[in-house]
Structure 1
Amino acid sequence: MPLASLPRRAILRLAALSLALGVVAGAPALAQSPKPEVIRIGSTAPGHLKFILFRNQKLLEKEFEKDGIKVELTTFDGGSAASVALGSGAIDLTYIGNNPSLRLGASGADVKLIGLSSWVPSNETLVVVRPDSPVKTLADLKGKRVAYLSGTVRHSTFAKALEAEGVSIDDVESLNIGIENSGPALARGDVDAIVESTGPAQKLVDAGQARVLFDAGVSGKPEWAVPHLISVNGDFARTYPQIVERILKVDIETARWADAHPDETIAIFVEETGNSEKAVRSSYSEGKFYQNPEIMPRAIEALKGEERFMAEAGLLKGKVNYDTWVDRSFYDAAAAQATASN
């Protein structure tokens, strides 16, 4: 019988039945979580420790290969470039420093803080000069040319160190130059000092090309050590929450593996970065790597303190809303999965 000739009540019953069947038929599709074709993760070159372990051991590729999901690990020259890529959606997650992460959070961008990349208490920043430099103290850098990447943790640490000596960062001639160019510039005498992470700066010292003027890990204040962060693009997190949880599960497992295998971890880090083993062991003394991604209350307090300093130093515009920026739910779910898999 044609549908048009059926009584209205019969048509309604058929429609209801069709809807019910449609729901049942569609249930498996609805139950299946969406998945991306590729996961893009960025870090500041050469990469944070867990990022390097992911790359060296192909840990994320192994986690997602059964789903047919590709993983792309990309390094950026400076956290600012990585944070811009995250905010725009060009990459999905970042392992970068606190300063670029805080600036992005303060901008109101659609990003979430979901974990800690690391929280190393030694504050890995060196200020180095030429071996024959007449500069003897940080105060002697007043009016001198100093190279560092603007907006980095090193920038913040250097500003704090100068402030402790009664010198403003505005009193030095700051040059926004990365280590690839600042090292040769120091050798030529084009710059008077370099502010850089311990690893690459120590390489210059070991090669006899530089002398340590200031070591934040030795002479810095404990409160200068602020956690580095794992952030996710908000749209990616809302669309693929279970993917984000699985990434953090691998992160937790990687952090635990590093502490259980200190010598192998250091060997991988040295191989991947080219840093001296001496500098790496100095940064991770006693075989502890401080890679736990859990966002503890004291980590938030440290970030708030850093935010205040950045605002006062003109390194940040806007204000971070920690209630909307921080999302611990992904870590909680990942920790449960990691525990269950043990």
Structure 2
Amino acid sequence: MTTPRPDATAAPTLTRRELLRCAAWSGLGMAASLSPLSAFSASPAARPDVIRVGVAQPATGTPPGFAGSSLAIAHARGWLEESFKPTGTRVEWFFFKGAGPAVNEALANRQLDFALQGDLPSIVARSAGLKTRLVLATGVRANIYVGVPPDSPLKTVSDLRGKRVSLFKGTNMHLPALRLLEANGLSDKDLRLLNLDTAGYLAALSTRDIDAAIGAMDILRLRDKGAVRILYSSKNQSPIYTRQSHVLVSDDFAGRYPEATQHLVKAAVEAARWASDESHREEVLRTWARAGTPYDHWKEDFDGEPLRVRLNPNFDPFLVSRPRMRSSRPIASN
């Protein structure tokens, strides 16, 4: 099976100005005022009883929620439920600690209609015959971090050769991690790579059972405790070393309920528009912080970057180019 591989030479390298231009919201045709969301009004025969939305993250906090995307804001505010309420269509949310691979299993078993997940899991699913279509982007260009014990002798990414390094395989962390290794003269086979989820790699770093972890900004928690040193961050680096996510719908649901599909996408785009407004920055970051990652870390991670760069629902040229990268070498997902 042919799956994407990092290819820094083939990937377009976008400047900060180009990223902002890609995030200019062209062609959305939305009004400035987005609240309340418009109600769903399709004929009864075209209305599903329930819409099942999967999220490739665990739900945490009080009340339970997730973070890092405009869909997380829509969930926190109940906007999708409100939009479909007049017709009796329920919106149900399902959260997956196993991230993208677990979401794929639920999609394959027809347990979900929509899903928020990363690029690699959806590509793997499509290559295996799962019929889905991407409907909007969100949570794109999310940074990755490489953490090592504070007294580690490792100084650069190239120093990871032969070391015990954790990576949550099969997720949207996988591709940018491989691109980063390749840019530093390494491949996954040059490392003693361990497949650990977020809780697993944070614990392993704390107990020094691994030499390094390639992960998300959860690593900043350990840094603040003096238990980890940041060896590398993709912040202010090329976007090819960042993580990409999107919302997709099953072909079956889209075919049976085209109006409901269109309406959910419209509501999600309206949520993205609201969440990308810089006047809402504080509210967006604090809403995400309720899901467990401290507000200060969200503020640090987004410092100097407009919200719209990561929350733009358009599939800009950078995102469109991602699936085109191919390799004769498969990427293991477990």
Same fold? TM cut 0.5:
yes
**Aligned counterparts of 2:200 and 2:288: Cα–Cα separation in 1:** 22
1:315 and 2:334 equivalent?
no
Q: Alpha carbons of 1:287 and 1:31: their partners in 2 closer, same or farther (altered >3 Å)?
A: closer
1:303 and 2:323 equivalent?
yes
**Aligned counterparts of 1:54 and 1:36: Cα–Cα separation in 2:** 20
Aligned AA (1:92): D
1:167 and 2:218 equivalent?
no
Aligned AA (1:110): K
Residue in structure 2 matched with residue 245 of structure 1 by the alignment: 262
Aligned AA (1:129): V
Residue in structure 1 matched with residue 215 of structure 2 by the alignment: 196
SS of 2:133's equivalent? strand
Aligned AA (1:133): S
Structure 1 residue 44, shift from structure 2 partner: 1.9
TM-score normalised to structure 2 length: 0.77
Structure 1 residue 108, shift from structure 2 partner: 2.2
SS of 2:153's equivalent? coil
Residue in structure 1 matched with residue 146 of structure 2 by the alignment: 127
Aligned AA (1:165): N
Structure 1 residue 292, shift from structure 2 partner: 2.4
Is contact 1:118-1:291 (8 Å) kept?
yes
1:75 and 2:95 equivalent?
yes
CA shift digits 1:119-148 (9 cap, x unpaired): 33xx41001011111222222222211112
CA shift digits 1:240-278 (9 cap, x unpaired): 111111111111111111122111111101122323423
1:228 and 2:245 equivalent?
yes
**Aligned counterparts of 1:304 and 1:105: Cα–Cα separation in 2:** 13
Residue in structure 1 matched with residue 54 of structure 2 by the alignment: 42
Q: Alpha carbons of 1:158 and 1:286: their partners in 2 closer, same or farther (altered >3 Å)?
A: closer
Question: Structure 2: where are the runs of 5+ without partners?
Answer: 1-41, 59-65
**Aligned counterparts of 1:87 and 1:285: Cα–Cα separation in 2:** 40
SS of 1:177's equivalent? coil
Structure 1 residue 284, shift from structure 2 partner: 6.0
Cα RMSD (Å) of the superposition? 2.3
Q: Alpha carbons of 1:86 and 1:116: their partners in 2 closer, same or farther (altered >3 Å)?
A: same
Question: Structure 1: where are the runs of 5+ without partners?
Answer: 1-29, 318-342
**Aligned counterparts of 1:227 and 1:181: Cα–Cα separation in 2:** 22
Q: Alpha carbons of 1:300 and 1:110: their partners in 2 closer, same or farther (altered >3 Å)?
A: same
Is contact 1:227-1:303 (8 Å) kept?
no
CA shift digits 1:57-77 (9 cap, x unpaired): 111111111121221112212
**Aligned counterparts of 1:276 and 1:161: Cα–Cα separation in 2:** 27
Structure 1 residue 196, shift from structure 2 partner: 0.9
Higher helix share: 1
Structure 1 residue 211, shift from structure 2 partner: 0.8
Residue in structure 1 matched with residue 229 of structure 2 by the alignment: 211
Residue in structure 2 matched with residue 277 of structure 1 by the alignment: 296
Among candidates 130, 148, 151, match of residue 167 of structure 2: 148
Q: Alpha carbons of 1:272 and 1:284: their partners in 2 closer, same or farther (altered >3 Å)?
A: farther
Larger radius of gyration: 1
Residue in structure 1 matched with residue 81 of structure 2 by the alignment: 61
Is contact 2:206-2:222 (8 Å) kept?
no
Q: Alpha carbons of 1:59 and 1:50: their partners in 2 closer, same or farther (altered >3 Å)?
A: same
**Aligned counterparts of 1:276 and 1:226: Cα–Cα separation in 2:** 20
Residue in structure 1 matched with residue 124 of structure 2 by the alignment: 103
